[in-house]
Amino acid sequence: MDELTERQKLVLALIVRDYVETAEPISSGRLVDHFRLDFSPATARNEMAILEKSGYLDQPYTSAGRVPTKKGYRYYVGKLMGDDQLPLHVQEMIRHQFYQARHDVDNWLSLSASVLAQHSRGAAIVTPLHTEKARFKHLALLSTRGRQVLMVIVLNSGEVHQQTLVLEENLTQSQLTALATRINEFAVGLEARDLQEIEFETRNPVLEQIFQLVLETIQNLEVVATGEIFRDGFTNMLSEPEFSEPEKARQTLEIFEDRVILDDLLSRTVFNSEGSGVHVIIGGEDTWEQLEDTSLILASYGDRDHALGVVGILGPLRMSYSRGVSTVRFISDLMSELISESMGS
Amino acid sequence: MDELTERQKLVLALIVRDYVETAEPISSGRLVDHFRLDFSPATARNEMAILEKSGYLDQPYTSAGRVPTKKGYRYYVGKLMGDDQLPLHVQEMIRHQFYQARHDVDNWLSLSASVLAQHSRGAAIVTPLHTEKARFKHLALLSTRGRQVLMVIVLNSGEVHQQTLVLEENLTQSQLTALATRINEFAVGLEARDLQEIEFETRNPVLEQIFQLVLETIQNLEVVATGEIFRDGFTNMLSEPEFSEPEKARQTLEIFEDRVILDDLLSRTVFNSEGSGVHVIIGGEDTWEQLEDTSLILASYGDRDHALGVVGILGPLRMSYSRGVSTVRFISDLMSELISESMGS
DNA sequence: TTTAGCAGTCTCTTGGCGAGAGTGCTAAAA
DNA sequence: TTTTAGCACTCTCGCCAAGAGACTGCTAAA
């Protein structure tokens, strides 16, 4: 029953596109004029009236132009928007930036955030790699200063976790190396579950202390996402007219700053769904109230079998979905490619 | 000639305090009334007129109340504001939070940002530790996946730098350990300058590749500040009335987001001055145009001889300087204490 | 030196009015 | 049956004027 005629689809699509650009309600006159349509404003008005009745459009007040509703945006993103690619020369430019940069995952992440923000003109979010099942691969203990020791744990996903700890007594580097070797010998390839069950008896209290820490760390890695989330380009959002009311701006920035909300959001959408596509969340989709006025475009990156992360952007409802989707898709593909490349074959 | 009478100082101080709270121009009537002063509004008016002539106060328009100027704030911060401590129970609470948390510098940094933001009600900035003179202490090479190797460099300041690199050929962990040991043997305790001069000849190309990278990394560490800057609480600033004009808000956020500006600002003020006090920069102090409408409170932390970082907050001119200064001072002292403690003695 | 009294100045809010933009409806044209 | 022209109607927005309110600066008395 909600089937739209071809012309209705056209009208909806054009209104979305025009509104995204101008941020002003689109009138029937402007529509035919600007897009040189071969029907009259009156016809456009009729179609717009129908689209409004079906819930795709809305009127800010009795006699203003039309504005897309969330339903309108969703329809546009789902059925009307072509899946454009980023222009080739832009793709080349971005690739170039990544290959120029230091070959280092953390560095790529921060670059991703910056590139996403710049090209999508929204606020960018990039989370670090995160493994669901962590298998221990290697442990290193490095003396830094005094009784302070750097513990580096490598998981077989390639994920690395480091932490500084302070020991009870002062040990030399070679003693530390010996300790690490002992743990490495039996723990390699095991998951947290397996490690937990090992009856680890020794007369050396330091060894036990370290082993406990390794165990805790790996367990934590499975539950909590660690590492900083990379963010960039919130300035872009603030220059959009929808954030001229400071209250709206504050509310949106809150989402952007609050790690808890973000973690929940990312894990519930991207990680829980199969398929590696791009997810578009418009106005919170009636699930997240705080996102009433914002849209998100998210995609996961990484090697599905090993570690995953999320890249995405955040913008007003009135954002350029086509540009957003193509940018996010490109960056997520590029990151996956870079990572699997750097993992070797 | 700019000597103020005691009563003038009192009036100025009260106006600053009241304005900070209400964000509205303070009238003579309100002043006497609210603070139960033992002189009349007329007297207050006379004093205010003098303070205005000397440049400490300003009138938004001919017959409104008075507002402090930058000069007024500076005088207040320099001579009128007592150097309060954070209330003892708050100090305890914060200490508790830090001791509860994982004992890890990165973790403390992010906690500092969050605590600063929360207690100062401004936007917090925390930079990681940074050494001026880097001496090599220890190198570790850990195989992660395939030809991908994690290189961890420890400097004798305790600073740690890690980077992933991809080797030409596939090496086992024990081969990597052997390589690391060779480099460690002769490089320990040397600065970048010394390392550079070593004639390093070997038939092993991988060894040379790694040595080059170590060298480059240490050199970079001396010039560019590395590591993410921790930020928190920009939301606090957005709720201040001075940022109701979105243009102002955007401009300020730009400072907060732009690493280049921030780096310049921090290095030029904090690192270049002797003494470990708290620095208050009001309205850019005629040096930074972009900071026209914002104030910064900064302090360095760390062990002066080894590595330094900066903690600070950013707020509108009309910020609570006393609360800001006491919070920043407390956090910077706490961080210094924690770090030197964890370094052992 | 301080204070009461008062005239003067400027902002801010309110309401009214006209211009302009865009719609929905009706009736004619295709 | 579909499309279009014409037109009355509605609603916003900008502008202006008037009135209330808030403070001040000044003058003269305490």
Condensed to tens digits (0 to 9), the pLDDT of residues A100-141 reads 887 777 889 999 999 999 999 999 999 988 766 667 878 888
User: Does B166 lie in the same domain as B293?
Assistant: no
CA nearest B173: which of B152, B142, B202? B142
Confidence of residue A311 (pLDDT cuts 50, 70, 90): very high
What is residue A259's predicted lDDT score, i.e. its pLDDT?
85
What is residue A231's predicted lDDT score, i.e. its pLDDT?
93
Instruction: Judge whether residue A59 contacts strand C, using its CB and a 7 Å cut-off.
Output: yes
User: Does B284 lie in the same domain as B158?
Assistant: no
- What b/e readout covers B106-126, taking b as 16+ CB neighbours within 10 angstroms? bebbbbbbbbbbebbbbbbbb
Domain membership of residue A188 as a residue range: 136-223
User: Does B272 lie in the same domain as B186?
Assistant: no
What is residue A222's predicted lDDT score, i.e. its pLDDT?
61
CATH number for the domain including B21?
A: 1.10.10.10
The average confidence (pLDDT) of chain A is 85
pLDDT digits (tens, 9 = 90+) for A161-214: 777 777 777 778 778 888 888 888 877 777 777 777 776 666 677 777 777 777
pLDDT at A329 over 90: yes
pLDDT digits (tens, 9 = 90+) for A222-231: 655 567 889 9
What is residue B44's predicted lDDT score, i.e. its pLDDT?
96
| Contacts with B234 from chain A: Cβ below 8 Å | 234, 253, 257
Helices (H) and strands (E) in chain B, counts: 13, 11
In a domain, B92, yes or no: yes
Identify the residue whose tokens are 């991703």: A112
User: Does B117 lie in the same domain as B70?
Assistant: no
Pairwise CA distance, residues B40 & A137, whole Å:
78
A201: Cβ–Cβ under 8 A, 6 or more apart, which residues?
none
Residues 84-113 of A with CB under 8 A from B: 102-105, 110
Last residue in a domain, options B14, B49, B80: B80
Q: Which of residues 31-70 of B touch strand D (CB under 7 A)?
A: 41-42, 45, 48-49, 52, 59, 63-66
Question: Among partner residues A150, A163, A257, which is closest to B102 by beta-carbon distance?
Answer: A163
User: Does B323 lie in the same domain as B280?
Assistant: yes
Q: Which nucleotides of C are covered by protein (CB under 7 A)?
A: 2-5, 8-11, 21-26
Cβ contact B102–A233 (<8 Å): no
User: Does B337 lie in the same domain as B234?
Assistant: yes
What is residue B274's predicted lDDT score, i.e. its pLDDT?
61
Reduce the DSSP state of residue B59 to 3 states and report it: coil
| Contacts with B150 from chain A: Cβ below 8 Å | 152, 154, 160
Burial (0-12, 13-18, 19+ Cβ within 10 Å), B134: buried
In a domain, B1, yes or no: no
Q: Are A151 and B140 in contact (CB under 8 A)?
A: no
Q: Which nucleotide is nearest to B40 (CA to C1')?
A: C3
Count of structural domains, chain A: 3
Spans in chain B with pLDDT lower than 70 = 1-2, 131-134, 145-146, 156-158, 199-203, 220-226, 271-276, 304-307, 343-345
Determine the distance between A4 (CA) and D4 (C1') in angstroms. Answer: 22
CA nearest B296: which of B275, B312, B276? B312
User: Does B236 lie in the same domain as B205?
Assistant: no
The DSSP code sequence of A15-65 is HHHHHHHH-SPBPHHHHHHHHT-SS-HHHHHHHHHHHHHTTSEE-SSTTS-
Least confident range from A157-161, A279-283, B211-215: namely A157-161
User: Does B279 lie in the same domain as B189?
Assistant: no
pLDDT digits (tens, 9 = 90+) for A26-72: 999 999 999 999 999 999 999 999 999 999 999 998 889 999 999 99
Pairwise CA distance, residues A60 & A74, whole Å:
19
What is residue A345's predicted lDDT score, i.e. its pLDDT?
40
In a domain, B293, yes or no: yes
What is residue A203's predicted lDDT score, i.e. its pLDDT?
67
Cβ contact A342–B166 (<8 Å): yes
What is residue A107's predicted lDDT score, i.e. its pLDDT?
85
Residues 196-225 of B with CB under 8 A from A: none
User: Does B203 lie in the same domain as B322?
Assistant: no
Question: How many Cβ pairs closer than 8 A exist between chain A and B?
Answer: 135
What is residue A189's predicted lDDT score, i.e. its pLDDT?
77
What is residue B345's predicted lDDT score, i.e. its pLDDT?
40
What is residue A106's predicted lDDT score, i.e. its pLDDT?
80
